[in-house]
Chain A
Amino acid sequence: MSKNEMIQITYREAVREAIREALRRDERVFLLGEDVGRYGGCFAVSKGLLEEFGPERIIDTPLSESGFTGAGIGAALGGMRPIVEIMTVNFSLLAADQIINNAATFLHMSGGCFNVPLVIRMSTGGGKQLAAQHSHSLEGWYAHIPGIKVLTPATLEDARGMLWSALEDPDPVLIFEHQSLLNMEGQLPANAGAVDIDRAQIRRPGSDLSVITYGASLFKALEAAEILAGEGIEVEVIDLRTLRPLDDATFLTSIASTHRALIVDEGWRSGGISAEICARIMEGAFYELDAPVERICGAEVPMPYAKHLEEAAMPQVEAIVTTAKRMVRSNG
């Protein structure tokens, strides 16, 4: 296989490849979660892994988020490198005690003696008509918690490369895979590997406005940027990639040259990660701003089931285009 060879791959397959690579490279790695084995994963991410790696490393669990997340924490403390899969971020609330009170605090509570090298993957976000108990974006909530890292891979490259870096991290890392990205297909170098998990990236350079986003909203922002470029507005699109720790240097630097910032976040506005980003801009780039910071967030309702209502409740390309135009070409 030549070094530059590209392969056609979906986001789902990229995640699967990442898990497979981890299982191969490190015998301490195992996958644990609901339906990950015989069913092949609720979102078919782990399809075929049970056959390849056997029931000792691909472990189906009962519907018991708190229990199996706790088991993962215990295994990590015991020297293993578990990957816990929680079906959706909504269900992770059943394991919130394990994640927040145990995984995130253990290093501190043990006086630095015991770290928890645990990785928890879960799906997040709307757009698949899974309604109010499977579609929310609570990753910003987890970004509130010291002691854990919060990753939101949006690109194929990150879907493929973030897992290994997360497993290498000595502390708990949460990876949020957006439901609507799983079928996204594209080209990836055949030898794609680990990527950094602590820096935001500029996915499209521009001079008029910084759009700060992450996850599935990244592609809406990029689509909007393309439309805006046709109208002479150059938008810089920043993919945060990691919500905790937040790489504010990247977006503050961007704002220093564009002087305008728009945050696109599928999560709710009140008290969300968009509010945190907004606050950091005020703290770090107030004197660079030429217009008020604006936000396009998820509507503050439980996610509707009906297709048109669900669309209305989420940030869409059109809203980004309209808002960007108003911010850049404001005239009273």
Chain B
Amino acid sequence: MAEFCMPSLGADMKEGILVKWKVEPGDQVKRGDIISEVETQKGIIEIEVFTDGTIEQILVHPGEKVPVGTVLATIRVPGEEAKAPREERPPEPTFKYKFCMISAQHKEGPAKRPPEPTPVTTAGKRLKISPSARKLAAELAVNLSTVQGTGQGNAITRADIERAAEAQNAAAPLAPVKPEAGMRQAIATAMARSNREIPHYYLATHIDMSNTMRWLASENKKRSIKERILPVVPLIKATALALGKVPELNGFWIDDRLQLQEAVHVGFAISLRQGGLVAPAIHHADLKSLPELMEALHDLITRTRGGRLRSSELTDATITVTCLGDLGVETVYGVIYPPQVALVGFGKIMEQPWAENGMLGIRPVLTTSLAADHRATDGHRGAQFLEALNQYLQKPEEL
């Protein structure tokens, strides 16, 4: 039996509201399918499943707010027999840090006997709650596990839910009303933690962008306006490839050690019109061609602003790229998004006097900066990374 849990969609997400199920018990699911939607401080996120199987039981219902790591549903993996339903709200798992990965637990041996049927209504097993109270609880996002029933046979009634909702609201007077406020809060928490815990070091260099810009201009001439590749795309690709040379910058600092990540998922900072930002992942940026990257970026920006991000995009980024050049910024001094260990910042590509081989010329110059976690890497490796990035940008045709 595999468990589908409330994922952590950011370093400091503690809980989420299950908004919608896209599956029902009995439905077949495949790894990567979007099976539910969760509301977080970053808006409504589509949640993917990480295992193949059949939805066995749904344990958390729309409207319920549960801590990260709470089992939302159980999934029967192929070859496993149906089991008796478990109680609706399992004890909270001891959740460590990052995402709640789906743990496939094969507890029984292969020659197990069919399980004993368990009556669904065993005392204490199934929540005793009136249908109307359950509906109201979903509307008011009341956590049912804390509600004491006062109805017949101690069933939870509407009045109990109303009381619980009042208590819940009184306990959380700062509950975010506007999504922007929640987003601000999430950024505040993550960034405060970053500055508190991560010993940043900063490196910056000027990169001559002549080759890249020239190559892009000729390349874009062959393309329709819609298909044109923006300068940011080779920057992302070069970053991803440079990480191949300095892999220590691609990973997470968890449990006091660097956990390198093999796949390169570049988180791209996207500001939102209503304020705030998210940095969803462009998966396998190192393996995508420039046109593929352009398409991925376009899709990501559209969905980010439309509030249709997927859970994996919020959790998978292994490094973050920030571009503030459009706004005239020359140099970015980035703050790392924990538990990542590096952030690459790109400023404005500006025409500047450039001395080379005793000659002075005018070149498009880009100030590239690296903010990195000194626990994970040292300035030496950081410098090698920036140099690798520079080298890739000198040969754009190879990107």
Contacts and interface: CB of A to CB of B under 8 A. Distances in A.
Interface of A: 259, 286-292, 326-327, 330-332
A292 B131 CA distance: 10
Closest 5 CB pairs of A and B: A290-B132, A290-B130, A290-B158, A287-B131, A330-B152
B130 A289 contact: yes
Nearest to B161: A290
Contacts of B133: 290
A289 B135 CA distance: 10
Contacts of B289: none
B274 interface: no
Main secondary structure of the interface of A (DSSP, over half): loop
A287 B157 CA distance: 12
B151 interface: yes
A43 to B, nearest CB: 42
B150 interface: yes
Contact of B150 (A288, A292, A330): A330
Nearest to B131: A287
Contacts of A259: 130, 132, 158
Residue among A259, A289, A290, A291 facing the most chain B CB atoms (10 A cut-off):
A290
A330 B157 contact: yes
Given A259-B132, A286-B131, A291 B157 contact: yes
B135 A291 contact: no
A291 B131 contact: no
Contacts, number: 40
Contacts of B119: none
A261 to B, nearest CB: 11
A330 B151 contact: yes
B117 interface: no
B91 interface: no
Interface string B135-161: 100000000000000111111011100
Interface in B140-187: 150-155, 157-159
A191 B157 CA distance: 48
A287 B131 CA distance: 5
B321 to A, nearest CB: 48
A326 B157 CA distance: 13
Contacts of A327: 152
Nearest to A259: B132
Contacts of A292: 152
Contact of B131 (A288, A326, A330, A332): A288
A257 to B, nearest CB: 11
A327 B158 CA distance: 13
Nearest to A286: B131
Contact of B153 (A286, A289, A290, A332): A332
15 contacts: A259-B158, A286-B131, A287-B131, A287-B134, A287-B135, A288-B132, A289-B130, A289-B132, A290-B132, A290-B151, A291-B151, A291-B157, A330-B150, A331-B150, A332-B154
Contacts of B134: 287
A166 B130 CA distance: 41
A286 B159 CA distance: 17
A332 B160 CA distance: 12
A108 to B, nearest CB: 38
B158 to A, nearest CB: 5
A289 B150 contact: no
B131 A289 contact: yes
A326 B152 CA distance: 8
A287 B136 CA distance: 10
